[in-house]
Amino acid sequence: MAARVLGERRADLKPESKELSILFADISNFTGWSSDKSPELVHEFLSNYLDSMSAILFEHGATVDKFMGDGIMAFFGDPVEQPDHAARALRAALAMQVRAREIAAEWRERAAIDLRIRIGVNSGRVIVGNLGPKSRIEYTVIGPAVNLAQRMEGNAPVGGILASSATRDLAGPGFLLGGVLAVKAKGYDIPVEAYVLEGEAGTAAGSAPALLGAPAT
């Protein structure tokens, strides 16, 4: 991240308001799986998983904000301007699900893990830049749009992707959407409309990522 910022000659990164797309990803039942595994196995698996997911996010132009255990937070559209940040976020989410299934096959017998991840995406205005106390300044994003992205992830189907209507509208018509959910979120008077992302329009038959599992209860 630091190298990318310096390469773009943006070293100040003073907080400003911008419209971005935010992505959260989390492994379903990771705590339950890891509770009886050796620290070495958990570390090796998690490193492999996070390295793989980070590579996909970087390929799609994301800024990886932070890792929270097995959770990932990333955003699109800053520090490099990306008019197509919503579409980038959705394409990254689809690629992450494809890679998660590959990792699941690689680790299923070795680690006895049924790897499935939830991903949530939302777009909206946030405050982005160097934020926090002087002793721990971080380049990050804050605001209701970030909180709603996390709610999208929490309500996504296991093995699937949930995108807000704001992301859908910004991304355009190039994506295949499935079921509609009404997501209750703090700070919103009424439930927020969200869509299950099934694939990208024009994807060759049989290669579009399929949803795994059932919606969370």
Q: Sign of torsion, CA 175 181 185 187?
A: positive
Question: Residue 14: its pLDDT value, please?
Answer: 78
Q: Cα(77)–Cα(64) distance, rounded to whole angstroms?
A: 12
Question: pLDDT tens digits for 7-17?
Answer: 443 445 678 89
Residues 175 and 201: beta-carbon distance below 8 Å: yes
Per-residue pLDDT tens digits for 16-33: 899 999 999 999 999 999
User: In Å, how far are 117, 139, 155, 174 from 194, measured between CA atoms?
Assistant: 18, 28, 9, 17
Task: Provide the pLDDT for residue 6.
Answer: 35
Whole-number pLDDT of residue 12: 59
Cβ pair 165, 194 in contact under 8 A: yes
Among 19, 45, 36, which Cα is nearest to 106's? 45
**How far is Cα 31 from Cα 145, in angstroms, rounded to an integer?**
27
Kindly report, residue by residue over 144-197, the tens digit of the pLDDT: 999 999 999 999 999 999 999 999 999 998 999 988 888 887 777 788 899 999
User: In the structure, what pLDDT confidence band is assigned to residue 216 with cuts at 50, 70 and 90?
Assistant: very low
Does domain 13-200 fall under CATH 3.30.1310.10? My reply is no
How many alpha carbons fall within 13 Å on the CB side of residue 77?
27
Average pLDDT of 85-94? 98
Tokens standing for residue 210: 């399929």
Q: What's the pLDDT score for residue 179?
A: 80
Q: Does residue 93 have a pLDDT over 90?
A: yes
Mean pLDDT computed over 36-57:
96
**Token pair for residue 112?**
């006895």
CB 164 within 8 A of CB 151: no
The model's pLDDT over 97-155, given as tens digits with 9 standing for 90+, comes to 999 999 999 999 889 999 999 999 999 999 888 877 777 778 889 999 999 999 999 99
Bond preceding residue 83 cis, omega within 30 of 0: no
Taking the model in full, what pTM does it have? 0.86
